[in-house]
Amino acid sequence: MLNIFKLFIFGLTAFLISCGGSNVDNAGSIATPPVVLKNSIPCADLAKLGLTFEGNTSIVSATAVTGGSVVTSAGTLDKLPSFCQVVGVSKPTADSNINFEVWLPTDTWNGRFMSSGEGGYVGTLNYTRKGLDGGMDEIIRRGYVTASTDTGHLASDTFWAIGHPDRVVDYAHRAKHLVTVAAKGVISAYYGKAPVKSYLNSCSNGGRQALMQVQLYPKDFDGVVAGAPWNYQSHAAAGDIWTAQALSEPGAGIPAAKLSTISDAVLAMCDAKDGLVDGIIEDPRKCNFDPAVLQCKGADSNTCLTAPQVTALNKLYQGPKNPRTGESIYSGWSQGSEKSWTNIVANLPTSSPFTLGNMYYSNLVYGNPNWDFKTLNFDTDISYADKFIGAFSNSMATDMTAAKNLGVKVIMYQGWDDQTLQPGHTPNYYDQLVKTAGSLESVQQYNRLFMVPGMTHCYFGPGATSFGGVGQQIPPVRAASHDLQLALENWVEKGVAPETFVATKYTDDLATTKTVKLQRLLCSYPKVARYKQTGDPNDVNSFTCVAP
């Protein structure tokens, strides 16, 4: 009887649910009622079906969570709907051990699958963003099936890549693909129907994952949001090391107390260029601040820079260059973002292996826990890293014809005040997409980029930084005009491409009162927002998008 029932369930797999019940409300969001789940099976039965998927992937357990909370390695998560918690493992090679979970709403499913992304070097599931948007907990609250993975290693194993090349491949791209395939299979088995659409919304390494999926596995997702994508890992890591080397020169270290001095000088020169003096530079690439103006005329103090500090600051703005060819390896830090550099100037000029750059070269590239960042050669070592690890961890392809032909849509975003990944890389990468495609219009048929003035890495900062991205506060209006995810769904499911977003700044980035301080307009790159020179500068209606 169980085999007959199993065949019945899998016979329904090809049946896609209708989205005829969906509608677009007056604010532009997709308002989808929960799916009527006529063919769902008891959660515990999923573990009895003997489900197996691509890459030697299987289900370990399936548990009904009905009390509104669940205990995870990230702590107890509450205010959750009833759901089926599926635990699985994938072992595509003898040295692979990819842990993952799929969470399936019992009676609040909106018909869609949205994968969580995983940050940094992962090593744990993305259960939560501490009450902010983006973890499995918030995704399931919004009615999606969601999934996350440790990508094949544990965070407690610091040098997990050394001696384990298969685990590097799992981390780079294989784990995310296999878990996505398995999650879709679990959805079909549990509900008796496949998801109407599948999405991934993430940032940083999650942004890299999103672009990697589009480039290598274009059938996995119908649409992705790729925030601050760490998609040029080998070169971004070199950027970290460049910064560390510059600040490690004798007398070159910049105290955090001097960051305000630098920022104030940059803003005095460049803030007004975008038509509004507000402490935020709309496009830092238009700023040509020369650090030499701050060089101390007399004794060193927090109001000036020493000559070695001026040299170091120039290098930070410049970004790494190949000493032999002079070619740029990666972007530098943005002018005007200096107040967000506290951790940069405090932590990078050390031999610690726990920065992104040091971890990449010591763990993934050279397999040496004692590797010294000061030895990195920005010619030969970068070339080696590109070929040895970057060949399968960088998601830098510029021809996305396969995904485009399948109708896949991509929304990218990047904060100009990013203090973790030098932000100029993202528009540079987008420009390369345009160059490969032959026109901006061709790229915008499937990919839109939104640059965010005053936003640090993925979220927060002095600008308006809540618009539906991972880790951000939930927007005040759940509508496509305010929310990247809903805009992506409108684009994929309704054919309405996003041109602008309303970004919100709350009075406190971590506040629960949701008091709006200001709102700004985000424009589809390369356009930028410009103040109309009339109206409240804190009102989004006082801005318009213009050509740069």
**Confidence at residue 456, expressed as pLDDT on a 0 to 100 scale:** 97
The mean per-residue pLDDT over the stretch 231-241 comes to 96
Mean pLDDT of the chain: 91
In a domain, residue 166? The reply is yes
Q: Both 253 and 371 in a single domain?
A: yes
**What does pTM read for this prediction?**
0.92
Write down the number of H helices and E strands in the chain: 16, 18
pLDDT (tens digit per residue) in 159-190: 999 999 999 999 999 999 999 999 999 999 99
* Residue 283 burial (CB count, 10 A): 19
pLDDT per residue over 40-60, tens digit each? 899 999 999 999 999 999 999
Instruction: State residue 355's pLDDT score.
Output: 83
Q: Which residues lie closer than 8 Å to 267 by C-beta, 6 or more apart? A: 279, 281, 336
- The answer on 409 and 274 residing in a single domain is no
User: What pLDDT, on the 0 to 100 scale, is given for residue 130?
Assistant: 64
Instruction: Report whether pLDDT(6) > 70.
Output: no
Catalytic residue among 340, 457, 482, 483: 457
d(CA 297, CA 293): 10
Structure-model confidence comparison of residues 16 and 446, the more confident one: 446
CA–CA gap between residue 330 and residue 425 (Å, rounded): 7
Q: Is the pLDDT of residue 496 over 60?
A: yes
Tell me: pLDDT of 493 over 50: yes
Is the residue at 536 inside a domain? no
- The boundaries of the domain holding residue 19 are 1-195
Is 304 found in the same domain as 273? yes
Annotation marks residue 204 as catalytic: yes
The pLDDT value recorded for residue 207 is 97
Residue 339 clears pLDDT 70, i.e. is over it: yes
Same domain, 175 and 34: yes
Average pLDDT over residues 469-484: 92
Whether residue 9 is predicted with pLDDT greater than 50 in this model: the reply is no
Which pLDDT score is estimated for 10? 34
The rounded distance, in Å, linking the Cα atoms of 236 and 423 is 10
Regarding whether 380 and 403 lie in a shared domain, the answer is: no
517 part of a folded domain: no
**Total domain count for the chain?**
3
> What's the pLDDT score for residue 33?
65
- Residue 353 is predicted with a pLDDT of 52
Which residues are CB-neighbours of 48 under 8 A, at least 6 positions away?
2
Both 32 and 147 in one domain: the answer is yes
Is the confidence at residue 34, as pLDDT, over 80?
no
Please check whether residues 367 and 479 belong to one and the same domain.
no
Q: What residues contact 305, with CB distance under 8 A and at least 6 apart? A: 254, 258, 261, 262, 291, 294, 295, 296, 313
Let me know if 418 is a catalytic residue: yes
Choosing from 146, 175, 195, the residue where a domain stops is: 195
- Judge whether residue 290 has pLDDT over 90: yes
Shared domain check, 400 and 389: no
Instruction: Classify residue 49: in a domain, yes or no.
Output: yes
Per-residue confidence band for 35, with pLDDT thresholds at 50, 70 and 90: confident
Which one of 350, 375, 393 terminates a domain?
393
Q: Do residues 114 and 134 both lie within one domain?
A: yes
Domain boundary among 393, 420, 444: 393
Instruction: Answer whether residue 511 shows pLDDT above 90.
Output: no
For residue 61, tell me if it sits in a domain: yes
Query: Residue 72 CA to chain centroid, in angstroms?
Result: 23
Same-domain check for residues 2 and 145: yes
As a whole number, mean pLDDT of residues 36-42 equals 76
Examine the domain organization and report whether 173 and 44 are in the same domain.
yes
Q: In terms of domains, do 63 and 165 share one?
A: yes
Let me know if residue 540 belongs to a domain.
Answer: no
Note the pLDDT of residue 134. Answer: 72
Any bridge partners for residue 504, and if so which?
A: 466, 519
pLDDT at 22 exceeding the cut of 60: no
**Per-residue pLDDT tens for 187-232?**
999 999 999 999 999 999 999 999 999 999 999 999 999 999 999 9
**Percentage, residues of the chain above pLDDT 90:** 86
Q: Tell me, what's the pLDDT at 8?
A: 34
Q: Which of the residue ranges 300-314, 341-355, 364-378 would you say has the lowest mean pLDDT?
A: 341-355
Confidence at residue 133, expressed as pLDDT on a 0 to 100 scale: 62
Q: For residues 240 and 355, is the Cβ–Cβ distance under 8 A?
A: yes
Q: Could you give the angle at which helices 307-318 and 233-248 cross, rounded to 10 degrees?
A: 170
Catalytic residue, chosen from 137, 222, 418, 483, is 418
Q: Which of these is catalytic: 90, 115, 204, 234? A: 204
